[in-house]
Structure 1
């Protein structure tokens, strides 16, 4: 959920792909520092103009706006997550925010071009896409976040239990992502008509919902110690080695087990 959640997952892929060998700036303590920076404070979002991002795929942003407005959605603003820009200055981007006609769905669309020497190497061997064009739809229902996005195979961190995430392939057409989410919210309301979704029609209401989602994710990351064993083992496809166990302890801030 949200661009910062995706960025943390991509950064984790880099660490895992390098075999947890702890090169400078990619050790467990560095990863934990980034996790704490991302989840340790409310994010500062600011209105921006698309023209301030000449490297962004503005045609993608315009296509999202045109397609969704034709479906009755309303464009609210383009915003930059200044907190993420400070942490990942090489990956600065912006989000386009929209809401549906009923005020039950908020949309974030963004283009991300992961940069950096290590990231570039992973892209050469096709372990990471060169460009991510993401459309994410979110509905909030009594503390639960229903999320639909085109991030299948890209999201590397497990969402909190309060987030019900449906990930479609990255190249899924915008209309299909929207239709899938609209279908999910319709099914939910039919099954539980008493569960009224939170409505957000204004820019401020959307930001408030995003802030609540951030708090939910921050609490979850704190609960699992930054990264869980299951997440690392799933990325590696096997039980952790001794080196990887040490990496996990470093991330979680725990000490090595005492010999018996």
Structure 2
């Protein structure tokens, strides 16, 4: 927003709302589903197989087929000299979610033993293509007709109203509608005309669909509100993860909807404009501070204490004991929002390097600490030389989160951890979590962190190089079974637990490492609250140990 004119009688503010990113986002968000919808609709319609008895020993059939929800008719296909119908089952290699794809097909077999497949499905459901029961029923129906003396028969399949077609079509339409609303409804330009001579405000909003102008008398304007708030992220240990923002709006006393002026993460972008409008119209400027205790200068100590206790309790759950791990069946039913293709892709790459799969496990301790949210699993693999385990895991993502990850608005956490143990009880850990894992170094654990974009081959090379160097002086611990790997994980967790317990589980420095720029004051307050809680707990324990 900028002031384009300021005289004794006029104040004009203007904000350009056009964003190439928004246009690109709309085209991606709506265009891709639209193309997919048209492609999918080309398979939906009505298929009608009509068969006539031409002679006692001759049956001719024709197939009438429509697509695009029966809006377009395809040319009729003749099938003369039909001898019989057959049900055929084939099994094809599966993809990342299925070991094999089971395909059920309807075939017309002609008198010369050639054949034609009909009633094919384009969608795969639960690793199956085609409705076995329906196909077998229609095969029986047609064969009974051929063997009888009946003159004609018709077999009809309507693919428009199946649950899958309705669900996919509805979701595509919703995505397209949202994109249309955002692209065509978002303002290209917004202007505010304050005119003292007419004592009125004229508010203009220009979109791709319309130009809207509304006028308000100065007498209906109550105040200009200048508000300070905070944006916070939900997730593990995110109570101290926020950023202050500033926004201004015009408030009416006549029941009209308030007019939003601007939002920014810089106070200097908002406060001067809010003051200028208030002074020009001759109304009050109202400041509202909606920040929580962790970010507001006027803090509420009880809120900060609650944040501190929640963070401290979480770390106690994670670092007070060995983790409970259980083997799981990794499929889309048990883990619906986890990218199984990532697991399978990395597994295939590792198998080419001589690794073998041990198991898919869930860390039940972390699942319980997260109250069942963000449930995921770890795929464990073991190197050919038995010195290194690999943990593969991905954070679960909903459909909307996946869209945001495409544009880089939310980190896409797909982790690969390589871990080895030496005979003196120390460990080597190599991962691709640089910038995402902000935890402190632990004595006895040599940690190598690389960018999430690092290739698997580079991670393996870096880990192997360091491990070879370390094993010149001390032997590596060799693992052979799943049970060996779990005990190895317990020993690694024991070292982390011992270190965290010695520090009191959570320190102000831990909070500082995971904070963002501009949160210094809030971080210091939260850190002080954590230290105060730990001190109180220590005093309580000391008091409880005293003899009566």
Which range, TM-score by smaller chain? 0.7 to 0.9
CA shift, 1:114, in A, is 6.9
Is the 1:97–1:109 Cα contact (8 Å) retained in structure 2? yes
Contact kept? 1:152, 1:170, Cα under 8 Å: yes
Give yes or no for contact 2:367–2:374 (8 Å, CA) kept in 1: yes
Distance apart, 1:126 and its partner CA: 6.4
Contact in 1 for aligned 2:337/2:397 (Cα 8 Å):
no
Superposed, 1:198-217 pairs within 5 Å as 198-217=477-496
Please identify, of 101-110 and 83-92, the stretch whose mean Cα deviation from structure 2 is larger. 83-92
Gaps of 5+ in 2: 1-234, 244-293, 296-301, 537-548
Corresponding residue to 2:384 among 97, 101, 105: 101
Asked if 1:11 is matched to 2:294, the reply is: no
1:67 aligns with 2:349: yes
Report 1:1-260 matches (<5 A): 11-12=236-237, 14-18=238-242, 20-21=294-295, 27-51=307-331, 52-88=334-370, 89-113=372-396, 129=411, 131-141=412-422, 142-190=424-472, 192=473, 195-236=474-515, 241=521, 243-252=522-531, 253-255=533-535
Choose 25-34 or 164-173, whichever is displaced more. 25-34
| Alpha-carbon distance between aligned partners in 2 of 1:167 and 1:64, rounded to the nearest angstrom | 18
**Contact preservation (8 Å) 1:109, 1:134:** yes
Gaps in structure 1 of 5+ consecutive residues = 1-9
Alpha-carbon shift at residue 233 of structure 1 (Å): 3.4
Shift of 1:66: 0.7
Distance (whole Å) between structure 1 residues aligned to residue 318 and residue 484 of structure 2: 22
Could you tell me how far apart the structure 2 residues matched to 1:164 and 1:127 are? 31
Larger-gyration structure (1/2): 2
Q: Give SS of 1:135's match.
A: strand
- Contact 1:226–1:251 at 8 Å: present in 2 too? no
Distance (whole Å) between structure 2 residues aligned to residue 255 and residue 127 of structure 1: 39
> TM-score by structure 1 length?
0.80
> Does structure 1 retain, via aligned residues, the 8 Å contact 2:314–2:369?
yes
Deviation, structure 1 residue 61:
0.6
Report the Cα distance in structure 2 between the residues aligned to 1:165 and 1:106, rounded to whole angstroms.
15
Higher helix share: 1
Distance 1:63 1:239 in 2: 39
* Structure 1 CA distance for aligned equivalents of residues 508 and 523 of structure 2: 10
Separation in 2, partners of 1:124, 1:87: 29
Which of the two has greater strand per residue? 2
Shift of 1:15: 2.9
Return the alpha-carbon distance in structure 2 between the equivalents of residues 124 and 228 of structure 1: 35
Q: What does the per-residue CA deviation read over 1:142-183, in whole Å, with 9 as the maximum and x for residues that have no partner?
A: 211101000000111113111111101012112211121111
What do the CA deviations read for 1:203-225 (whole angstroms, capped 9, x no partner)? 00110011111111111111222
Number of aligned residue pairs: give it.
237
Map Cα deviations across residues 51-90 of structure 1 (whole Å, 9 max, x no partner): 1223211111111111111111111000011121122212
Cα pair 1:111 1:133 within 8 Å, conserved: yes
Aligned partners of 1:160 and 1:114: how far apart in 2?
Answer: 30
Q: Contact (CA 8 Å) 2:327, 2:361: kept in 1 or not?
A: yes
Q: Say whether the 8 Å CA contact 1:15–1:26 is kept in structure 2.
A: no
Bigger relative contact order, structure 1 or 2, given CA contacts below 8 A and separation 6+? 1
Quote how far apart the aligned CAs of 1:26 are: 6.6
Distance 1:207 1:218 in 2: 16
Whether the 8 Å CA contact 2:507–2:530 is kept in 1: the answer is no
Cα separation, 2, equivalents of 1:69 and 1:97: 12
